[in-house]
Amino acid sequence: MDRPSEHAQEPIRQAAASATPTTVAMPGPAAVTRSQVESSYRRYAPVYDLLFGAALGPGRRAMAQMVNRLAPRHILEVGVGTGLALAQYPAGSRITGIDLSSEMLATARRRVPAHQAARIELRKMDAEAMDFADGHFDCVTLPYVLSVTPNPERLVAEVRRVCRPGGDIVIVNHFSGQPPWRWVETMLRPLAGWLGFRSEFSLEEHVLRHAWQVQSVAPTNLLSLSRLIHIRNVDP
């Protein structure tokens, strides 16, 4: 696909400006280590669906609806967690889900019906060093994982590597700057390591500045807590 026109890019720029106002100086993301992430999601696993299932559900459904419109043959979900999105993907697609947490994956495996086991594969894997060939997937989804990974740039590089050229990358994640959430982001910043995620996370730094084609950015979840982003895996 050709690069979107300047006119087509304008809504994307407006969404970015809304997510990270130029009048607000955004600090760099707090550090999160792999061990902290594993420890945090070991704690979350028994109650994750209760704590985050409904609250983050609209963004997850919007992500899955976009993937259904794209109708890819093979989907990779990075950070599959407890498998809340698995049943919402296209029925004809093959699905591979990876996660760093054995405890979260155990719940996800219980969600896969026996008759779907042939097309849904769940694996424990570090998304920053994936064991897949280049261009292996038609579509890669990242539900609420970009601000959780210790090294977001490394994750982006791996996602681009395993997604075929011209394929689709769909991200749903919290990004800093929305007025209703700024004070919460500031309060939670010192707890990033314990929580296992960064409350302050820049859309510009971690998405818009990369050399790929951002097709759309749209608000989702309560009070625009998150952004749904569609990316085409081609250079601009």
The pLDDT value given to residue 211:
94
d(CA 236, CA 230): 14
* pLDDT at residue 87 in the model: 96
Examine residue 21 and state whether it is found in any structural domain, yes or no: no
Q: CA 175 from chain center: how many Å?
A: 11
How far, in Å, are 78, 83, 100, 103 from residue 38 at the CA level? 15, 17, 7, 9
How far is residue 204's CA from residue 86's CA, in Å, rounded to a whole number? Answer: 29
Q: How far apart are CA 63 and CA 160, in angstroms?
A: 18
Give strand pairing partners of 78.
98
Dist. CA 204–CA 215, nearest whole Å? 15
Along the chain (236 residues), what's the average pLDDT of each consecutive run of 10 residues? Answer: 49 51 41 77 86 90 98 98 97 97 96 95 97 98 92 96 98 78 52 51 91 96 89 94
Please indicate, yes or no, if residue 1 is contained in any of the structural domains: no
**Looking at residue 35, what is its pLDDT?**
81
Per-residue pLDDT, 175: 86
Give the pLDDT of residue 2.
Answer: 45
**Domain assignment of residue 130, yes or no:** yes
Helix, strand, coil proportions of the chain in percent (round to 5)? 40, 20, 35
Query: Distance (Å, rounded) from C-alpha 33 to C-alpha 52?
Result: 21
Tokens 């007025």 sit at which residue?
179
Residue 191: give the domain boundaries: 30-232
pLDDT at 176: 76
Strand partners, 28: none
Domain for residue 13, yes or no?
A: no
pTM across the whole model: 0.82
- SS3 category, 96: strand
* Separation of CA 117 from chain center: 24
| Residue 121 included in any domain | yes
pLDDT at 9: 53
Residue 25 lies in a domain: no
Query: What CATH number does residue 105 fall under?
Result: 3.40.50.150
Enumerate residues 6+ apart whose C-beta is below 8 A from 193: 30, 31, 32, 33, 36
Paired tokens of 135: 């261009």
Residue 15 lies in a domain: no
19 lies in some domain: no
- DSSP letter at 26 equals P
Angle at 185 between CA 184 and CA 186, to 5 degrees: 90
The number of distinct structural domains making up the chain is 1
